[in-house]
Each structure stands twice: as structure tokens, then as C-alpha cells.
Amino acid sequence: MALSDPSRMIAGVILLTIATIEFGGWFMTKIVRGDVPMTEFQKSFARAGHGHAGVLVILSLVGLLYVDSTTLDGFFLWVGRLGVPVAAILMSGGFFASSAGKDRTKPNQFIWMLALGAASLAAGVITLGIGLLTA
């Protein structure tokens, strides 16, 4: 199985983002130790953001292995190729951004990023799934 050049390049970029997820893991240890003051709400959103980043990055890489096995082209090929990686950015970023601020106990205006990320995830996996079933 060979990846197309666009899928190979995207996979390379995604792999490089794992360093930022590692940094997030180190930061999570500071939160858990109490070195970073946060409300329980902020701690739970930090955990969710970190977890979503890791899982969706792995799912992104898996999706890239499959997308070039479909007959998708044009717009739908790019939705299948980028839907999950974009969701990883939007969803994890949404958790972090919507919980930012001193003593925050509920999400701020950036909560919209989670919904947009969920839509991107759905579009990506549905497109890729249909593309695989109809190839």
C-alpha cells in the first residue's frame, strides 16, 4: 500500500504534532500535582482536550491509510483526508480555549469550536466510510 503525496505530507505534519501532545501531557502532570491553579471545570476540560487531541491524531493517521484506497475525488477526497485532522485541532482547541481564564467554572464564547470540530469529525468519517464502502 502506497500513500499519495498529499496523504504522505499530511501524515508527516500530523506526526510532528505529537510533540505538542507530549508537551500537553507534561503540562497535565503539573495540573494533577496542583502546580497550576485550576477549577475542577478547567481540569476536566484540560483532560478532555488532551485526550481528544491524542485519539483524533491517531484516528487521522489511520484515516490517511484508507483514503487513498477509495475512489473519492475532488472536494470529497479532501473532506475524507482532512475532516478528522481538522476535528483534532478544533475539538482539542475548543476544550482549551473555552475553559481559559482565571477561576472559570463554565465555558466561554469559544465553545463553538467543539461543535464545529464535531461537524468536521462527522463529515470526515462519514465521507471516508462511504468512500470505502463504494470503492
What is the identity of the amino acid at 89? Answer: I
CA dihedral 103, 105, 111, 117 (to 10 degrees): 100
Residue with cell 489511520: 62
What are the pLDDT tens digits along the chain (135 aa)?
Answer: 789 999 999 999 999 999 999 999 999 999 999 999 999 999 999 999 999 999 999 999 999 999 999 999 999 999 999 999 999 999 999 999 999 999 999 999 999 999 999 999 999 999 999 999 999
Residue with cell 475542577: 40
Residues 116, 90 contacting (CB under 8 angstroms): yes
Measured between alpha carbons, how far is 85 from 56 in angstroms, rounded to an integer?
Answer: 7
Identify the CA nearest to 53 among candidates 28, 30, 29.
28
pTM for this structure?
A: 0.93
